[in-house]
Amino acid sequence: MFSLEHITDFIQQWLYATFNPTMALILECVIVMLLVIGLFAVLGLVLVLMERKVAARMQIRLGPNRVGPKGMLQTAADTLKLMMKEGLTPDGADKFLFNLAPFIVMIAAMLIMAPIAFAKGFQIWDINIGVLYVSAVSSVSVIGILMAGWASNNKYSLLGAMRSGAQIVSYELSAGLSIISIVVLSGSLQVSDIIASQQTGWWLFRGHIPAIIAFVIFIIAVTAETNRAPFDLAEAESELTAGFHTEYSGMKFALFFLAEYINIFIVCAIGATLFLGGWMPLHIGHWEGFNQIMDYIPSSLWFLGKTFFLIFLIMWFRWTFPRLRVDQLLSLEWKYLLPISMFNLLLITLIAIMGWHF
Amino acid sequence: MAFLKQYISDVYRAVSSLLKGMKTTGSYFVRPKEIITQQYPDNRASMTIPERFRGEVVMTHDENNEHACTGCTACELACPNATIKIVTKFDTTPEGKKKKALDTFVYHLELCTMCNLCVEACPTSAIKMAQSFEHSVYDRSQLLKKLNKPGSKLRAGVE
């Protein structure tokens, strides 16, 4: 059976057998770096195309259909166009910060990649505080956004960055509380442990209604954290032209654009890991035959399937809901999501202590 | 307690209205047959344009090269941006009386906003909106059109 775990094990053994340990470690790091960059490039192309196609279908349009078969190469052509464009820096901008900001956003996105388990035994770094690490590093990207907004020397950019800051700080609370509720159920912060605890069933189903509420709140909060519609006040093209990346062009703009999609992928991967069992196949009770058939599907496909399902859900939100006002945005978080998720966390703790979950 | 009830019903109504919106977009997503986009240059031969589409003003002529325009200039008066200019002449009727009639119906397509007011103002339904839309030309003088065909005359019985 196809397994990424065997491939990585084989490569590791070969490296350590051929080179001395230091050299082997360095080579491993290089391979991982290349893989992550490759994944980023592919994800950027695929997700942007997917978004445009999903948007088109939901608005009874066709979407890109000219470049390549069924428009598959549209995003590749767009990337080529962006690369050839001039990366303009405004006169009044703080040149250093202006050029640094896209990389900060990008690096923050890259860092969160570390503890995500893409398949069985296929994980860059199985750190024992994986979930904490993810929620901590995900807030670094707001620094990049604030930096971009401030350094642009443009009122729209600054307003967009400020809004983005307020939004991310607010919604991190309820996202964090939803994550904690799964940590309470599984009793571990380590990503591999959380996935292993879902061997008999995904937490979304095992945790009764409170887990479903936590899942819904998590999805809402991460939609806000990634600055996507209906929470795209940071960009708000009708009010702020393009928000914090108004002044960016060419490849620097492409990095922001890419980081947005990578962040969507990452938060959806975390959602899939916490609530939908990561790479764990769907198992139903004692249906042995069914469970064995499910085991034959490679774990990487399970992970990608779940992640892309959540990405589709977030795209569905974007093309359905109108944008919130700033006051509505904040009252949704502080008056609804936060109290509900706090109460929900209490319920889940009770369930975990009494062992009421399946 | 009343507060809590209000709060829960607020959340319930918000969620149900959001789900209703998602149902609409989701149903379009799973029914690609409803896509209304036309692959325009490709399907130029087979394309159908809705009847209500307003492409340009035309004057209908029947098989005897007769039209229904009496030259009353109601359309000219109705036009908000002077797109239409009616040039009239005097015909002599069999009884020897002089009667006002249409000489030239001048239509500036480049000024027209397709507002349909002239068609609505016409008392004899002489003009209508056509569905043609490929109007691009290299010189704007080509957009100045004479709507009545050469040699055409007023249909008998139209007052």
Cα distance between residue A103 and residue A109, in whole Å: 10
Lowest mean pLDDT among A161-175, A195-209, B18-32: A195-209
Reading phi first (left if > 0) and then psi (alpha if -120 to 50, else beta), residue A97 is in alpha
How much is the average pLDDT of A188-201? 82
Q: Is A200 a residue whose pLDDT tops 70? A: yes
Q: What strands lie across the sheet with B84-92, from one edge to the other?
A: B84-92, B98-108, B144-146
CATH topology (fold) of B56-154: Alpha-Beta Plaits (3.30.70)
- Could you read off the pLDDT of A301-353 as tens digits, one per residue? 888 888 999 999 888 888 888 888 888 888 888 888 888 888 888 988 888 88
Nearest to A250 by CA among A85, A46, A109, A116: A85
How much is the average pLDDT of A132-155? 85
CB contact under 8 A, A317 and B29: no
Give the count of beta carbons closer than 10 Å to the beta carbon of residue B60. Answer: 14
- Could you read off the pLDDT of A215-261 as tens digits, one per residue? 888 998 888 888 887 888 777 677 777 777 788 887 888 888 888 88
Higher-pLDDT residue of B54, A8? B54
Radius of gyration of chain A from its Cα atoms, rounded to whole angstroms: 21
**A-to-B residue pairs, Cβ atoms closer than 8 angstroms:** 36
H or E element that contains B2:
helix B2-29
CB contact under 8 A, A340 and B11: yes
Cα distance between residue A317 and residue A224, in whole Å: 11
Closest-CA residue of A relative to B17 is A321
- Could you read off the pLDDT of A18-44 as tens digits, one per residue? 878 888 788 888 888 888 888 888 888
- Per CB-CB distance under 8 Å, the chain B contacts of A316 are 22, 25-26, 29
CB contact under 8 A, A320 and B35: no
Higher-pLDDT residue of B16, A201? B16
For the entire predicted model, the pTM comes to 0.81
B93–A contact, CB cutoff 8 A: no
Q: Is A179 a residue whose pLDDT tops 60? A: yes
- Per CB-CB distance under 8 Å, the chain B contacts of A320 are 18, 21-22, 24-25
Identify the residue among A66, A319, A335 best suited for mutation to test binding to B, counting B beta carbons within 10 A and taking the highest. A319
Lowest mean pLDDT among A12-16, A291-295, B14-18: A291-295
Nearest to B11 among A54, A320, A336 (CB): A336
How much is the average pLDDT of A289-310? 81
- Per CB-CB distance under 8 Å, the chain A contacts of B34 are 60
Q: How far is CA A50 from the centre of its chain?
A: 15
How much is the average pLDDT of A120-143? 83
- Could you read off the pLDDT of B69-100 as tens digits, one per residue? 888 888 889 999 888 888 888 877 777 777 88
Per-residue confidence band for A124, with pLDDT thresholds at 50, 70 and 90: confident
The reported pLDDT for the residue numbered B138 is 92
The reported pLDDT for the residue numbered A98 is 86
Q: Is A1 a residue whose pLDDT tops 60? A: no
Closest-CA residue of A relative to B32 is A57
- Per CB-CB distance under 8 Å, the chain B contacts of A61 are 35-37
B51–A contact, CB cutoff 8 A: no
The reported pLDDT for the residue numbered A2 is 64
Q: What is the mean pLDDT of chain A?
A: 83
Nearest-5° Cα angle at B5, A357 to B8:
50
Domain map (residue ranges) of chain A? 86-354
- Could you read off the pLDDT of A261-278 as tens digits, one per residue? 888 888 888 888 888 887
Q: Is A50 a residue whose pLDDT tops 80? A: yes
| Residues of chain B where predicted confidence (pLDDT) is lower than 50 | none
